[in-house]
Structure 1
Amino acid sequence: MNNNYLSKATIRENYEAYSEYFAKILQNILTILQEKISLSAQPTYKWRIKRFESYYKKVLRKEADKITAVNSIICLTDMLGIRLICAFLEDINLAISQIKDIFEIREVEIKGDEKKVSEFGYESIHVLVKIPDECLPEKDERFEKLMPLEGELVCEIQIRTILQDAWAEVEHELIYKTEFSPFDMPLRRKLAAINASLSLADITFQEIRDYQKKLQKEVEERRHSFYSMADNLLDEKPKSAAPETINRVSPFVQGTIDDMLLRAIHAHNEGNLEEAINIYSKILEAVPSSQKSIISVIRKHRGMAYFSMNNFESALEDFDESIENDPKAFRTHYYKGIVLAIQKKYKEAIKCFTTSLEINEFQAHTHFRRALAYYEVNEYENSMNDLDAAIKLGMKQDEYKFLQEKLVKKFGMNM
């Protein structure tokens, strides 16, 4: 044995003396990540300092020639690790991009990318970042006697989905913490199948997420069109220009209720109202009467399509059916109130808006619509109270200013 090598006990002592120092660095980096990383869903974090036994084995394997009588800590790239665990595959690239904006990057590595389908391993991203000076603890009396670090100390940020992280934890126990990996082919195939199933599940989750985003975009566009039409029919504000036609083609084929709903809303947004109503009606024919929540949603959408055709009676009929199937559908109560207000049935409209607000009080536009209805029945104090609530909830001035001016005149106040 080369007598110039440090003993394992000495290396352990030197390494473990750094534990508090390393922990403070990780806590500082973690704070930065939690403050600055913004993904589609809130990520979770894990952090760890590499255990000495793992550190020592790797040093012997890769850096044995550096273990000399000179007391120093050999820096490995994975000594300090933070795992960023996100919900969807799309968040991985978003996280990488944001990390690049925050830190100075030393390396980006895709782990598992080199493996064959039949082999174990699940892809994850490892980003090595330079530790910013502000993340380094001050060298007070606790750290003054620490041995110097040999090489650059970096932090490894691993980015994985929830399913990738689950696989990594189990794989670590089954493969890397045992002396032998499974040699039996049936066992190897089972592990490969689990790996493939988790990968497929991640892809499926992302596809569902993409679908939801497309649907939400269509719904928001349809809702905006509904509100614009309501404003014009109420003639409370200057008529806005007709919304631009949106050339979007749904990539989803006919078949499932979700597919049909997306096609219907798309047709609705494009102004193909008869087609939209026809699809909504076909969905209602296919849905069992026991599926009350689905019936409520479809009735609400079809009611909005009827509204866009100025068929207010059919719209109200659908809204009533929607509410009957889901009494807590606060938006449907709101939409029904708008139609009643257009028909100048202000007392009934106020009841609908009130019911909607009893279910969900944090609706600026519902407070505003009720304020308009109260104004029409000469209940100016109630109107002012609702307008104040709408303003507090963030309604824009250009939307409420005309009503505010009317109320000021009624109360004889100055702006």
Structure 2
Amino acid sequence: MPRILGTMNTDPAPHLARARVRAAVDRLYQADSQRWEVACQRVIRFLEGITESMELADRSRIVVDGYRIKEPMRTLEKVLKKSEGQALPSEPGEIVEMISDLAGVKVLCKSSRDLEAFVDVLRAEMGRASRFEVVEPVKNYHLDPKPSGYRAFHAVLGAEDSKAQHPVRVEIQVRTRLQDAWGELTHDDLYKPGGPLSPSDFHTQVAASMANLLSEVDRLADLLAQDIEQTSRGDAQDGEGETQAGDLLRVTVTRTGPGYAIAEDELGRRGLIRARDVRLLAEVTGAAEKSGENRKQIKVSDLVKVGDELPAAEVEFKGNRYFAPVEFAERG
């Protein structure tokens, strides 16, 4: 006598409901995929404008890392998971209301301090940007991580489109590079709908421990960056122990920012131009008064531009080479 392995569910209703969801997802992607891409490009330009306004000495510290459109199968799986115990949606508009991250743009920051500085400016700009609407309250998982260990800052923007049947929404995720690495290593496989594994307690504990360890590395990276920045600016130095090496050099500025610049001499040796030296020269030459700023408020990039050729003294301090300019470049 054959074994009875179980009773099949012959009720067609659940299967029909799922088929309607799949059809609604297909219609949504056919109608809106191109609009999502256009909206993402607009959001990318908006975010890149923020990074430019921050006048970063090192542009690689905050990078807008492109965009992604959620795969249709992922969307279907997420809809089914969020609809457990509820009526399944059957119209594209219902799916848009349910899933806010169909389109997304990611911003990667080198450290937590970079992330927090970017988020401060982003919050202010979102309040002023009439072309976008903040659709949902922001979610700061950077300061309040999920139990899984997930950390990031999330904001969802809606783009105006009066002719559209469904609103276009773009989720912004701001992460440190280590937070992003944790997501690549663990979160995508363990916690997203349709992942190959259902996380056990062991998986969850290990993933959370990894997130905590990487968060500590982020903190140490902040400390390192702050110390390097203070040394680069030279604001805390009193000049004691500095030695000037030889005659004046002719140096060419290769990078500039609010806190310091980098220049090369004719032999290709690189040195830092400190904010302290720029501000002292600005005070001596009267450049501070002309700019309408007091000496402490002047940024290096206000007076020193990439490509400037400057006469400078070579200064050595604690094994570091600095170029102290004695004149600013003439401007027409």
Scaled to the shorter chain, the TM-score interval is 0.5 to 0.7
What is the deviation of 1:48?
Answer: 1.3
Identify if the C-alpha distance between structure 1 residues 61 and 113 changes in structure 2 by more than 3 Å, giving closer, same or farther: farther
Instruction: Kindly report which structure 2 residues correspond to 1:331-410, keeping only aligned pairs within 5 A, or say none.
Output: 336-338=246-248, 356-359=265-268, 364-366=309-311, 394-395=329-330
Aligned equivalents of 1:199, 1:5: Cα separation in 2: 40
Identify if the C-alpha distance between structure 1 residues 338 and 30 changes in structure 2 by more than 3 Å, giving closer, same or farther: closer
What is the deviation of 1:71?
Answer: 6.1
Identify if the C-alpha distance between structure 1 residues 154 and 9 changes in structure 2 by more than 3 Å, giving closer, same or farther: closer
Decide which of 132, 150, 163 is 2:178's aligned counterpart: 163
Aligned equivalents of 2:69, 2:329: Cα separation in 1: 46
Residue aligning to 2:74: 54
Instruction: Kindly report which structure 2 residues correspond to 1:202-351, keeping only aligned pairs within 5 A, or say none.
Output: 202-217=218-233, 219=234, 221=235, 266=237, 268-269=238-239, 273=240, 277=241, 301=242, 303-304=243-244, 319=245, 336-338=246-248
Decide which of 183, 199, 202 is 2:201's aligned counterpart: 183
Q: Kindly indicate whether the alpha-carbon contact (under 8 Å) linking 2:64 and 2:105 is maintained by their aligned counterparts in 1.
A: no
2:150 pairs with 1:128: no
Aligned equivalents of 1:4, 1:172: Cα separation in 2: 29
Deviations 1:193-220 (A, max 9, x none): 3222211111111100111122223x3x
Aligned equivalents of 2:204, 2:94: Cα separation in 1: 39
Identify if the C-alpha distance between structure 1 residues 173 and 207 changes in structure 2 by more than 3 Å, giving closer, same or farther: same
Q: Which has the larger radius of gyration?
A: 1
Give the letter for the 1:67 counterpart: P
More strand per residue: 1 or 2? 2
Identity of aligned residues (%): 17
Give the letter for the 2:39 counterpart: I
Residue aligning to 1:31: 45
Deviations 1:257-302 (A, max 9, x none): xxxxxxxxx3x34xxx4xxx4xxxxxxxxxxxxxxxxxxxxxxx3x
Q: Kindly indicate whether the alpha-carbon contact (under 8 Å) linking 1:45 and 1:85 is maintained by their aligned counterparts in 2.
A: yes
Deviations 1:324-354 (A, max 9, x none): xxxxxxxxxxxx2159xxxxxxxxxxxxxxx
Deviations 1:9-65 (A, max 9, x none): 421321220212211111221122223324542414131112222222332343553
State how many pairs are aligned.
236
Aligned equivalents of 1:195, 1:72: Cα separation in 2: 36
Identify if the C-alpha distance between structure 1 residues 6 and 71 changes in structure 2 by more than 3 Å, giving closer, same or farther: farther
Residue aligning to 1:379: none
Unaligned 5+ runs, structure 1: 140-145, 222-247, 249-265, 278-300, 305-318, 320-335, 340-354, 370-389, 398-415
SS of equivalent residue, structure 1 residue 83: strand
Residue aligning to 1:196: 212
More helix per residue: 1 or 2? 1
2:107 pairs with 1:84: yes
Q: Kindly indicate whether the alpha-carbon contact (under 8 Å) linking 1:364 and 1:394 is maintained by their aligned counterparts in 2.
A: yes
Q: With structure 2 as the length reference, what TM-score do the two structures score?
A: 0.59
What is the deviation of 1:83?
Answer: 0.8
Unaligned 5+ runs, structure 2: 1-12, 127-132, 250-263, 271-306, 314-325
Give the letter for the 1:94 counterpart: A
What is the deviation of 1:363?
Answer: 5.8
Aligned equivalents of 1:97, 1:192: Cα separation in 2: 27
Residue aligning to 1:13: 26
Query: Greater relative contact order (Cα 8 A, min sep 6): structure 1 or 2?
Result: 2
Identify if the C-alpha distance between structure 1 residues 84 and 5 changes in structure 2 by more than 3 Å, giving closer, same or farther: same
